[in-house]
Amino acid sequence: MALGHVVTAKRIKYWDDGITPDEKTTSQYHATYAYEISGKQYQYKYLERSVPPIQIQLYYLNNPGRAFHGKEKRSGFAQVFLLLFPIAAGVAVMLLLGVK
């Protein structure tokens, strides 16, 4: 049983943010991809450190306007939570064990 849908999107434009010269690994590449579902056009915004491919596979569950790439970035809140939670858990364990 399929839980979602897959669509192929084609790159219509891309650019480097130009912050670093010579395409260093710190550069970010932006791209806009277009895809069509049931005769309606949609766009997907891409942001990665690698040059965007000409075509990508996008996935969506119920809403084709909310398609995602297999390598979606986590939200800022999730990144902060994943950083601070282990520290807070370690401090809590140390307090419970009476370590000073």
Is the distance from CB of 20 to CB of 27 less than 8 angstroms? yes
Within a domain: residue 54?
yes
Within a domain: residue 57?
yes
Domain that holds residue 25: 5-72
Q: Does the reported pTM lie above 0.75?
A: no
Within a domain: residue 100?
no
**pLDDT tens for each residue of 62-83:** 888 988 887 655 566 777 777 8
Strands 29-37 and 40-48: antiparallel
Residue ranges in the chain modelled with pLDDT below 70? 1-3, 18-26, 71-76
Within a domain: residue 17?
yes
Within a domain: residue 21?
yes
Within a domain: residue 10?
yes
> How many structural domains compose the chain?
1
